[in-house]
Structure 1
Amino acid sequence: MAKIAYILLCHKDPEAIIRQANRLTATGDYISIHFDASAGPGPYRAIQEALGDNPSVCFAAKRLRCGWGEWSLVQATLNAVEAALESFPRATHFYMVSGDCMAIKTSEYVHDFLDTEDCDYIESFDFFTSDWIKTGFKEERLIYRHYFNERTRKWWFYTSYTWQKRLGLTRKVPADLQMQIGSQWWCLRRRTLELILEFASQRPDVMRFFRTTWIPDETFFQTMVRHLVPETEIRNRTLTFLMFTDYGMPVVFYNDHYDLLLSQDSLFARKISPEATELRARLGLLYATQGIDFRISDEGRNLFRFLTGRGRIGRRFAPRFWEAEASVGRERELMVVVCKKWHVAKRIVESMRQVTNLPAVDYLFNEEDTPLPYLGGIQSSLEKRARHRRAMMRMLFDYFESDRLIICLDPSNIELLHDFYADRSTTKVLEIECEFSDEYLVGHAKRVGLAGELTSGATLERLLPTIRNDVAQETDNLRDAGFSDYHQLNERASEEANADQIAPFLSIGHDQALEIARTPHLFSD
């Protein structure tokens, strides 16, 4: 039968920690505690005195001051794991919890669950190809060295990052590791943790690398497990139920969430509000109870996405006013200028404004600072604009009091075009095909962060064919999509030929189209 050693990282509320430790050890399991050194000696002494006589409790040999996003969180975990491995030789599984976690199943259920399969439970997705990171730094977490805490020493953190980026001071990921990322709340077997500690002692180069990565608690154990354990023995999930808002903040559970939590396909939940005294009391009694038949519906995350996606105006769960209508409108015509060279598209769209007096908006789905009218908040971020793309278009039509609108779009946004074409409105596309010199592609690589000012010529030579191929692939994807009302301008074509494409796109005469095609310096870089 499984014997669990809980690895508890905590930094406050010693009374709650004492209750949690007594509760988790009362049914025969163990707990290893790391209490943050920044909390001072008094609270820690109170915990030691209260739990000192409990043979199922041990403490990390060394306490650390932990900071969010720092290696200190991983090292504190390793310290608690080492203490647990030494103190509890009968422990078969090691389960990470925090002071805000509570069991949402009985001890009986938890042990039966772990006995079902001989495996490790840990989220571990490919760092570079997965979309686990939604916003902010991605590869920057790894290729630059992070010596300062982003929250407490923000200026030093970003100054250090900026100078490393300017000077091209990147580093490589250890060649034999496939970097993974996932939730830091895992449940691992004894042998797995022994392998990780053995690997850590034999590979100081890997440990040096992780010590200066950013948010290593989301990458270290995830990468180590995938590197050391056969894939058939890994379940790519966390057993702790947790959710995050659109703003990256953890969802907090309150008294009325008891039934919801018990119905989830998880063993623990995080975070339980300190003010949810009734919920904490009921979950505290639950763990030692026997004979409960849990009905698993596991609807929590889908329910949360469903409800929060609707917002609140005056009454609970009412739709945001911009979501009242999800179609652009049957009678409306959306004209999309697609071009990889944004300055070229902006020039021709400005000419279209002047010649036709049609309303036009530049790269609103690609540039955060594209000038836009206030639309109730939907226009405030690229993420919101893309999420509510059709509503965004409808509101722009309403704002301009027009049934025809021109926008610019990067060819990488083909999924937006598919969505617009699926709408009841009329959608037209004018693709502008440009020539791309090596100099332009080098500048593009620097603008998007693929290269720096100090990147060597040899590196750029190897990079250019890939970038050129990506640009060509985007064009091929557009043409293979089979969009109707699809028109093309070409940098090498004559002004007359390009005018023949502009005229049907804008539904104007040839003379007006020729005036637009003759836009001064249209294709100049």
Structure 2
Amino acid sequence: MAIVAYLLLCHRDPETIVALAGRLTAAGDLVAVHLDRRAPDADFAAIRAGLAGNASVVFARRVRCGWGDWSLVQATLNAARAALAAFPQATHLYLLSGDCLPIKSAVRLRADLDDSGSDHIESVDFFRSGWIRTGLKDERLIYRHLFNERRQRRLFYASMAVQKALGLRRAPPADLQVMIGSQWWCLRRSTVEAILTFLARRSDVVRFFRTSWIPDETFFQTLVRHLVPTTEIRSRAPTFLMFTDYGMPVTFYNDHYDLLVAQEGYFARKISVEAVQLRARLAAVYASADRGPAASGGGPEIHRFLTGRGRIGQRFGGRAWERGAGLGQGRQLMLVTCKKWHVARRLVERVRQATGLASADFAFDDETVDLPDLGGIERSRAKRSRHRRAFLRLVYESLGTDRLILCLDPADLEIMADFQADGATVRILEIVCPFSQADLLGHARRVGLLSDASPPGVAARVLPALAQDLERETARLRAAGFPALFRLTPGQKLSEAALVLAQFLAIPYDTARGIADTATLFDD
């Protein structure tokens, strides 16, 4: 009988991870957990505590994960090595995310694995299959990607442009046919061991994929096809997932139970953390001694039909900005407003380090701000601003949080008022920064009022008017009557600043004091 060791790639939600690992091991399976190194240490401690004493769980060496880069493959390899070392009885390794839940019973999965004698991994030709619908294709492989497109967008595309201009194309290792497919798979133990043995003697393959883009969709897919006979590969992902028209994974809720259990996969991704009823029903499915009914499938076709109706004016479901005008009941939004953006960013970074609080930076002011993939609405400042509450609601959902900190320019009084009118809990922190003549001159140049070639007389007329504008922005903010407006100034005592931050962030005073005690906070 097949014995499955699940490799859980997790990023957040300790309670969800503990619950999932507990359900899997209660059914007799094994689990290797990899938690993103970017997650707070407190989350990792909570997971370890929640699974303490469970001999069927092992923890993999953590790495900092970034969407689209090698770190996701490295995290998977670390989890696989941990599972192989800890569980000699495991016959199969099944890669899952923390957002997955079973849609078939463990009995059904094990019987199918025994019957198939195959590896379950989607693996189709990279260049001829048409698997990639939009975005970069050949460029994923033929250029070296040293920067992350999400976090270092300008450097990512600049590096690729330089390589293209200089003709620095490269070819994949000559003996490999590059394949592509879903990141999620279930492989036999012998296959994973063969991959690790192959990598030990083929450093060139590691080097190639380490600098490719989105290697989690090509690395295992290519090596399995290279090492395993075609007759022993079922080229279909064992985990069911769907994508929206905007390229976002569909999230499933309580009313999707019948759709999910009818699909051909053994697990489904992504299940909403709020779908408590769905989670309970799927847990019962996995623990059932019954193999369950035959799968009917049709999920992607039904989804394409319903979403396709939007193109002819007969949409089945509302768009993000039509599903509700609010950020979401019970959510907290903390607005940091400061004319010196670098000061606001410095404070928010200290808050993030100390509390793990998620941030959307200057999303409504900075065109190039780094944001999660939200299906396209995040790609320009105009799109974010057009339906700003809906945009932020998507940010909350994507980051899996109910607490978010956002930076705004003091000129964004209308945006502050809009969020203040929402049903969420909104607090505002004004960081007061003095502006010297040099500061005013630099600001005038940044906003295009002056240039290095401007005559001195122009600056003499512009700078006083600019200083008055800044004073009026501050006066309008304080006259707006916001009920939860806090103020941080360079001259405040440490104890006063700590109290302001504790109230604004709703965090313990000692934590706030550590944040306030940042000597360089107001530096230019």
The question of a shared fold, defined as TM-score above 0.5 by the shorter chain, is answered with yes
Q: Deviations over 1:118-175 (max 9, x none)?
A: 0000011101111000111111000100011100111111111111111111111100
Alignment correspondent of 1:24: 24
Mark the CA change 1:290 to 1:152 in structure 2 (over 3 Å): closer, same or farther: same
Tell me the residue number matched to 1:119: 118
After the TM superposition, which residues 193-232 of structure 1 pair with which residues of structure 2 at under 5 Å, given as runs? 193-232=192-231
Deviations 1:292-348 (A, max 9, x none): 532421111111111111128887539xxxxxxxxxxxxxxxxxxxxxxxxxxxxxx
Question: Residue in 2 aligned with 1:134?
Answer: 133
Amino acid at match of 2:13: D
State the AA in 1 paired with 2:81. Answer: E
- Tell me the amino acid that sits aligned with residue 31 of structure 1: V
Amino acid at match of 1:153: Q
Alignment of 1:80-91 (within 5 A): 80-91=79-90
Residue aligning to 1:177: 176
1:9 Cα deviation after fit: 0.3
| 2:10 is aligned with 1:10 | yes
AA aligned to 1:104 is I
Letter in 1 for 2:256: H
What code does the residue aligned with 2:71 have?
S
1:29-65 CA-to-partner distances (Å, cap 9, x unmatched) read 10001001111211101111221211100011x2100
Q: What stretches of structure 2 of length at least 5 have no aligned partner? A: 318-524
Matched AA of 2:27: T
Where does structure 1 lack aligned partners over 5 or more consecutive residues? Answer: 319-525
| Secondary structure class of the residue paired with 2:96 | strand
- Partners in 2 of 1:247 and 1:176 — Cα distance? 36
Q: Distance in 1 between matches of 2:207 and 2:128?
A: 24
Residue in 1 aligned with 2:105? 106
Instruction: Give distance in 2, aligned partners of 1:181 and 1:314.
Output: 35
2:291 matched to 1:288?
no
Q: CA RMSD in A?
A: 1.8
Matched residue type, 1:136: G
- Larger Cα Rg: Structure 1 or Structure 2? 1
Query: Matched residue of 1:151: which SS?
Result: coil
Check whether the contact 2:307–2:315 (CA below 8 A) recurs between aligned residues.
no
> 1:250 — aligned with what?
249
3-state SS of 1:31 partner: strand
Counterparts of 1:136 and 1:292 in 2: how far apart (Å)?
Answer: 40
Instruction: Give the drift of 1:285.
Output: 2.3
C-alpha separation between the residues in 2 aligned to 1:144 and 1:238?
Answer: 28
Who is 1:368 aligned against? none
CA distance in 1, matches of 2:226, 2:112: 25
TM-score normalised by length of structure 1: 0.59
Task: Count the aligned residue pairs.
Answer: 319
Give the 5 Å matches for 1:108-507. 108-291=107-290, 293-311=292-310, 317=316
The 2-side partners of 1:255 and 1:263 are apart by 15
Separation in 2 of the partners of 1:141 and 1:292?
Answer: 41
Secondary structure in 2 aligned to 1:158? helix
- Aligned counterparts of 1:231 and 1:293: Cα–Cα separation in 2: 29
Cα separation, 2, equivalents of 1:248 and 1:30: 32
How far apart, CA to CA, are the structure 2 residues paired with 1:151 and 1:114? 37
Cα deviation per residue 1:428-467 (whole Å; 9 max; x = unaligned)? xxxxxxxxxxxxxxxxxxxxxxxxxxxxxxxxxxxxxxxx
CA gap 1:166/1:297 in 2 versus in 1, 3 angstroms: same
Q: Name the aligned partner's letter for residue 109 of structure 1.
A: R
Alignment-derived partner of residue 42 in structure 1: 42
% identical equivalent positions: 62
Whether the 8 Å contact between 2:185 and 2:238 is mirrored in structure 1 is: yes
| Contact preservation (8 Å) 2:118, 2:234 | yes
Aligned to 1:63: 62
Q: Deviations over 1:58-87 (max 9, x none)?
A: 011x21000000100000000000000010
Q: Aligned-pair distance for 1:24?
A: 0.4
Contact 2:309/2:315 (8 A) holds in 1: no
Show CA shifts across 1:242-268 (max 9, x none).
Answer: 111222111111111001101111100
Q: Which amino acid aligns with 1:235?
A: R
One-letter code aligned to 1:74:
V
The one-letter code sitting in structure 2 at the alignment partner of 1:178 is: Q
Distance 2:49 2:122 in 1: 36
Please report how far the alpha carbon of residue 230 of structure 1 lies from its aligned counterpart in structure 2 after TM superposition. 0.5
TM-aligned CA deviation for residue 273 of structure 1: 1.3
The residue identity in structure 2 corresponding to 1:86 is: A
**Residue type of the partner of 1:38?**
R
CA contact (8 A) 2:306 2:315 kept: no
Deviates more, 1:238-247 or 1:124-133: 238-247
SS state of the match for residue 37, structure 1? coil
SS of residue in 1 equivalent to 2:95: strand
1:307–1:180 distance in 2 versus 1, CA, 3 Å: same
- TM-score (normalizing by structure 2): 0.59
Q: Deviations for 1:474-515, whole angstroms, at most 9, x for unmatched residues?
A: xxxxxxxxxxxxxxxxxxxxxxxxxxxxxxxxxxxxxxxxxx
C-alpha separation in 1, matches of 2:313 and 2:150: 35
Deviation of 1:113 after TM superposition, in Å, equals 1.5
Q: Counterpart of 2:198 in 1: which secondary structure?
A: helix
Task: Show structure 1 runs of 4+ deviating over 4 A.
Answer: 312-316
1: CA distance, partners of 2:293 / 2:159:
51
Corresponding residue SS for 1:310: helix
Contact 2:120 2:237 in 1 (8 A): yes
Tell me the distance in 2 between the aligned counterparts of 1:293 and 1:123. Answer: 24
Structure 2 residue matching 1:207: 3-state secondary structure: helix
State how far apart, in whole Å, the 2-side matches of 1:167 and 1:246 are. Answer: 36
Partner of 2:52: 52
Moved more, 130-139 or 307-316: 307-316
For 2:45, give the aligned amino acid: R
